[in-house]
Structure 1
Amino acid sequence: MQEILDTLANNSTWAYALLFVYSLGGGMVAILAAALLCASGALDIYLCVIIASVANFLGDEGLYYFAKFNRKQALPYFAKHRRKLALAQILFRRYGAWIILFKKYIYGLKTLVPIAIGFSKFNDIKFCVINAICAIIWALSLGLIGFFAGDLVNIISEKIGANNSLFLLALLAILGLIWLYFSKASKKKV
């Protein structure tokens, strides 16, 4: 495991670039993984939070403006996601700006909510300000959770000692199960 951390520390530019690209479309797993690496000293937590929040902000802004200025051209591409767009519209009407924050944590709605808001007549500046605040809150909360979980992981890893590869496989299996749960939970039930 130490070899992986050393490799990441020596190539941190690529890790930060990957975090940026992945955070454009959501990035929950990326910021958690980066924060775990920050706890081990491979990356800088402040830089990871800044990169993730800026990328998440830019990704949502891009989706919002894409929907706002390309409504007629974009609607046919979302025909398969009509139910999810309708749900996003309902949630937006019911909860208002709060849905912009909560959707950042909900798998399956992360990309559709800014599109649904872009299809509406929501104020551009208001969306920009709310989105910026929500992106910072999102990156800070997940970054801190991942960082403190990383401290716990490091303590457990030190106790295990020679079985670091087994620990890494267990950690990857847990992340895979979390991803599987969220992907199944967001599927339409027939």
Structure 2
Amino acid sequence: MQEFIDSFVKYGYILVFLYSLGGGMLALLALGVFSSAYDINPYISIFVAFIGNLAGNCLIYFLMKINKNEYSKYVFKYKRKVALMVVLFRKNAFIFTLICKFIYGLKTISPIASALVKMRFDKFFIYNAISCFVWAVSVFYTALYAASFIKNTFEQYSSYAPIVLFAILFLIFLFFKIKARK
């Protein structure tokens, strides 16, 4: 286990960059959790996730802008989502660019919709850069503070851990037992 943790700390930035290209949060969350226990630079982590997400969204924007006809067959099954995003982007582009960073399924539709709206690249880049930065900072620090809180709580109440674990397992069993009756 220690070998995995050491390699994740060593190569974590590369994983965060690659995973952030598609807008994924899991690697950034894991790096935030590991940074509460290990020596990981939070500024580099946030910067790497920011650059990865920004590059991925700009790539999607350009691919959609250049090859709109070829990619329309792939976007066809998301036609309703894209149509809704186009309407929302025409009204409030920045707000929906920011909100879409945090909603799974709309992260990749956001650059597609902005390309379909024919938004200028400089305007898209500024909106996207601000949104990517807010996304990276909020996700990383949420994971960092949540991990610190859980760690401190566990250290403070570790003598009650078996009782709490038994209570949680009993509640889960009770929940499924009640759910099975319905």
TM bin, normalised by shorter chain, reads 0.7 to 0.9
Is contact 2:89-2:117 (8 Å) kept?
no
2:108 to 83, 108, 111: 111
> In structure 2, which of residues 67, 72, 76 is the aligned counterpart of residue 75 of structure 1?
72
What one-letter code is carried by the residue in structure 1 that aligns with 2:126? V
* Paired AA for residue 29 in structure 2: L
Deviation at 1:11, TM superposition (A): 4.3
Aligned pairs, number: 164
Match of 2:82 among 82, 85, 96: 85
Instruction: Give the RMSD, CA atoms, in angstroms.
Output: 2.5
Superposition pairs of residues 29-178 of structure 1, within 5 angstroms: 29-159=26-156, 160=158
More off after superposition, 112-121 vs 38-47: 38-47
Task: Indicate if the aligned counterparts of 1:39 and 1:147 stay in contact, CA closer than 8 A.
Answer: yes
Show structure 2 runs of 5+ residues with no match: 169-182
> What's the TM-score, normalizing by structure 2?
0.80
> Are residue 23 (structure 1) and residue 20 (structure 2) matched?
yes
Residue 12 of structure 1: how far off its partner (Å): 2.2
Measure the CA separation in 2 of the matches of 1:34 and 1:93. Answer: 36
CA contact (8 A) 1:8 1:42 kept: no
The one-letter code sitting in structure 1 at the alignment partner of 2:6 is A
Shift, 1:10, TM fit: 4.7
Deviations 1:96-121 (A, max 9, x none): 22211110011110001101111221
Is the contact between residue 100 and residue 106 of structure 2 (CA under 8 Å) also seen in structure 1?
yes
Give the C-alpha shift of residue 153 in structure 1: 2.1
Give the CA deviation at 1:33: 2.0
Letter in 2 for 1:26: G
Residues 120 and 57 (structure 1), Cα distance of their counterparts in 2 relative to 1, 3 Å cut: same
Decide which structure has the larger Cα Rg and report it: 2
Q: Could you give the per-residue CA deviations for residues 120-167 of structure 1, whole angstroms, max 9, x where no partner exists?
A: 211111111221121111111111111111111221343438x7xxx9
Q: TM-score, normalised by structure 1?
A: 0.77
Give the secondary-structure state (helix, strand or coil) at the position aligned to 2:23.
coil
